[in-house]
Each structure stands twice: as structure tokens, then as C-alpha cells.
Chain A
């Protein structure tokens, strides 16, 4: 579960102050699939980065599984991310010198498992996203859709409590986008909490809840069936 309380994020550029996230308070329940939508500059990605502990809010509090993550130090945040969170980035963010299997297994190795066990879990995660034949391919040998599925496999390999996805379909064609979103839906149907940012409204309704942002504020909350 994520609890967001009075969250602010300001950017100061010279004398100009931009409030990207403006006093947001909401909760994401365990097992929920939350879609955050909004126009470009609405603050949706900024909100995701604060919730996903990739950035520090200017003020406000975030609790993930009852841990006040806004108070954690850098190395504690890294450890917390490793054990509890998974990320899927818009541009896949794979390490180019690692194969698909190595990319996926890296968080497991970092957790302290031996290489054999880590690779076993890595293979399982890749199988789950339909990439059983691409274990040894380097990222540059994979299509955009395949890279994004490797990214998803890496995000879920450690069984994170929450999966964050930042515009995961932005660089994909509609067919591939469909496959990626189906993967998310499958994961969510198995109890995975997902927070996804998208600017494509037709994909926003695949989750249980959709919040729409404008100028850093929630302007609409939708519960989807």
C-alpha cells in the first residue's frame, strides 16, 4: 500500500518557480492498478518519480508498506527499491552490456542469491513475458517491444510489492503496446500492485483506478470496472 500525504514538488529555475506536484494526498491499495494520466507537463511523471523513490519531494510524506520512505537515506532508499519496488521505463533502460537474462537477473544477484539461482529466477521472469528464446540476446539484438518486456521481467523478478511504469508504451506500436499492457493486466490479476503513467487515454482504463492530473493537482479520479 502507498500513502501519499500533502506531496509537493517544486522546481526552481532562476527566479521562476514551477510547482509540478501540488499538495497531493491519496492512497494506492495493495493489488490496485493505478493509472495516472494527464497532458504533457501535468506532473504525472514527477509524481511517479516521487512515489517510486527516484526523486525527493519538496515536502510531504510517502509511506510504502508502512515505511516512511521520504525519511530514508540514499543507500537505504536503494536497498528499499531493490527489495520492494520494480520499474519499467519509457525507453526500457536496459544495460547494453548485459544480455536479456543478465539484465533480468541483476537485481536478484544484488539481493545476494548465487548466480545459478539468480539465472533460474531470471529465466522464469523472461518466460513469464514470453521471451524464453531471447535469454542470451543483448538489448541491441531485441525489438522495442521485446526490450520493454525484458524491462518488465527485470521489474518483477524480485516479486516487488509495487511495480512502477512510466509511459511503458510510449515508444511502441499499437500491437506491441497491447502485448505489454496485457502483461501488466496478467500481473495485476495475480495481485501485483501497479502504478502506471500514460498519456494515452485508451490505455488508462485498463487499471482499477485512474487519476487525472492538471498543473500538479488531481482533477479527476475514476474507478474502472
Chain B
């Protein structure tokens, strides 16, 4: 048995090294494409919801988010929470957000008849410290028109892109958008039935619905119009230092009993359920695609080895005639299949991590709800690498077995 394997290795090495270089390159190239088909297609599909959850974490929740309890209008007892997190060494940055529902109207001066409807929409007025917010969510990066909010600006606001018709062309009774609004326009902001007037400094498009339907304003101005009585934050987002486990920090809050005053969630926990459901669905679709990819890969290897074995049927017959065992011949074909799959996958891995992943990281696919990335963790790719090798062993063995099982003389005489 061992000697048969040794001879199998010997024949495989000679076959590979002495076969036509062009043929070998072509087969390896096919295997490279097969590997990429297995990883890239699925990676992009899974990368869509993954990109969506990534932008949610990066642009909204941070590593941990504390928000009001369902029964409250804001974080009622903020002080003990602030006392605690201000001493936490894990916290790198944090930002408080003060929220209040508001209505934004762009054409408040141009209405002629009372029957005309104002060009307006509702949104969440969000009081922020632009510097702190920017440290946590990088909000300034998502200004698509105009400029970011200056911390001293008391007359300016930022408007979320989903409130504007040109970014979100909705015209449904339940959700309206503003049709005519430009950067620099003076708009009416109605809060608690009182009208205030501000200039639009910029438009924010972050692809996170929680942000893109908000109107950002400096905290002092917010405090002025929302009233000092209920001046409490509704959200506090945190960024931790590198390597900090969010769950462990969350548990610290819980250990202090602070969850009685506010909802304390990691980024993952705070994600909307539909986002997680999309992730699961796309993962299933990705696995189905991957499964089809495996079958295609197996069939490819099978065809390659079968054609190889069929064209060398005569030589297989001769090998058997001179005393080379079936096992040795089968091993030689399996090893050739493994060689093609191994080097094809290796080149595929190099292309995947040397080109595709960095490319999609720099140039994400622009989807309305996410920046589509290529999701290809090393372990996942190695798993697919292993599957391809396994598939090639089976796909190499079966055709070799079929040909080896033929009668020796029939193989030699080609009948």
C-alpha cells in the first residue's frame, strides 16, 4: 500500500512537471477562477448586509450605545451613568445626542393659497456637540452638500438626506420629503408648535436611516428651543480603545445596576432586527451560491481529470500491464487533481487578498442602504480552500477509478 502511494507520488510529479506547461497553466487558471467563484460571489452577497451593519456601527451606534428606556422620553437618571462612564478607562470617545421631534418646512414664505400644502417633512431634531459627534461617528465625512456644523454656529443646521426628495424620492402619504431645499436656504423648524428659522449648512448622507432622517443642531441652540426642563440626552454612543470587548464593558454597566436607568446595548444588540434578518438571509443565499460553486468546482475537476485519464487510457493500461497497481495509478491522478486545486486556490487566495478585498475596501459597492464590501474572512476562505481540495480528491478519484477499472488489454488497445 505504502509503496503504491510512493509510486503514485512519483508518477504524479513526473506527469505534472513533464506535461505541457500551457495545459497545466490552463487547468490551474480554471481552478483559480473556480476558487474565486466560490469566494468572491458569496463574499459580495454576504458583504452587503455586513457593510450595512458596519456602517450602522461606525456611523451611529459606536461600540456601545446607551439610550432611553422604552417607557421614558429620555435618559431620566443620567447622572449616575455619567459618573460611571467618565471614570471608565475603556472609553476613548463618547457623544451625547438630544432628540426631539420636529417639522422642517422649506417654502414657508411662498405659499399663496391656504389650500396649498407646505413643502415640509418631519424629522428628529438632534442636538449634538459637532466635535464629539465627529470623533465617535465621523459625521463630517458624510456631508454630501455644503459644510459640517461649526460648534459656534447658532443659526445653522444639517439636514439628513432621507428628508430630501432628490436623495429619497418618496411621495407616499405616510412619509413625505422636501422637494425644494438647497444648502444656504432659510428653513422653518417647528418644535412644540413654535416656529424657528435656520440656515441649511449641509446635507448628511450616511446610509443609516437613524441618521439620515435627522436634523442636526448645536446643543446650546437645541437647549434653547427644546426647553431646559427636559434637557436630558436620549442617546450616548461610545468608542472604546483598541481591543476592548464591548460585552465586558456592557457587563460593567449592568454590574453597577445602571441598566435600570437606560438601555445599554452593544453595537450588535442595537442593530435593527431587519438588518440582522437580512444578514441571515444573505448568508443562507451565500451558502447556497457557495454550494453551487462547490458542485461546479467538483464537476470542473472531474472533467479535467476524466479527460486527462481518458486521453491517457492507453498508458494506464500499460502501467497496469507492467505491474503498477491500481492504487498507485489512482493516487497519481488524485495528487494531480489536488495539485491543480491547491495551486489554483493559492493563486485565488493571493488575488482575493492582494487585489479584490483591498479594492472593495477602497471602492465599496454603492448600495442605497450600505457600502457593499467583499466579506472574506481568512478562516472562511481557508475553509473553502479545504472544501475545494476535498472536492478535488473525490473528483480526481472517481474518473481515475473508472478508467483504472477498465480491462487492461482494452485500455492498451483503446477499445
The chain A residues found within 8 Å of chain B, CB to CB, are 49, 54-55, 74-75, 78-79, 81-83, 87, 89, 93-98, 102, 106-107, 109-112, 138, 154, 158
Q: Distance (Å) between the CB of B314 and the closest chain A CB?
A: 8
Interface contact A89-B412, CB-CB below 8 Å: yes
Is there an interface contact between A82 and B409, defined as CB atoms closer than 8 Å? Answer: no
| Chain B stretch 318-337: residues in CB contact (< 8 A) with chain A | 318-326, 328
B260 within 8 A of A: no
Nearest B residue (CB) for A49: B409
12 A-B pairs with C-beta separation under 8 A: A55-B408, A78-B323, A81-B322, A82-B322, A87-B321, A89-B412, A97-B14, A97-B15, A106-B10, A106-B322, A107-B323, A112-B3
Report yes or no: B324 in contact with A110, Cβ–Cβ below 8 A.
Answer: yes
Report the separation of the CA atoms of residues A84 and B407 in the bound assembly, to the nearest whole angstrom.
20
Find out whether the CB atom of B7 lies under 8 angstroms from the CB atom of A110: yes
Contact A81-B321, Cβ < 8 Å, known A95-B315, A112-B3: yes
B19 is an interface residue with CB less than 8 A from chain A: yes
Set of chain A residues within 8 Å of B320, measured between Cβ atoms: 78
Give, as a whole number of angstroms, the nearest-CB distance from B345 to chain A: 24
Q: A54 near B315 (CB under 8 angstroms)?
A: no
Given contacts A75-B326, A110-B7, A110-B325, contact A54 B409 (CB under 8 A): yes
- Are B323 and A79 touching (Cβ within 8 A)? yes
In angstroms, Cα B324 to Cα A158, docked, is 13
B18 touches A97 (CB 8 A): yes
Chain B interface SS verdict (over half): helix
B363 CB to closest chain A CB (Å) equals: 45
Minimum CB–CB distance from B276 to chain A (whole Å) comes to 55
Minimal beta-carbon separation of A65 from chain B (angstroms): 16
Query: Bound state CA distance, A15 and B241, in angstroms?
Result: 86
Residue of B at shortest CB range from A93?
A: B318
B6 beta carbon closer than 8 Å to chain A: yes
**CA–CA, A98 and B19, complex, Å:** 10
The CA of A136 and the CA of B90, in the complex, are separated in Å by 70
| Docked-complex contact B14 and A87, CB < 8 angstroms | no
User: Given the complex of chains A and B, what is the CA–CA distance between A96 and B321 in angstroms?
Assistant: 16
**Complex Cα distance A74/B18, Å?**
30
Q: Give A74 to B7 CA distance when docked, in angstroms.
A: 19
CB-contact partner of B325 in A49, A75, A93, A95, under 8 A = A75
> Closest CB-CB distance, A204 to chain B, in whole Å?
23
New contact pairs (4) apart from A54-B412, A97-B19, A107-B324, CB-CB < 8 Å:
A54-B408, A55-B407, A74-B326, A106-B319
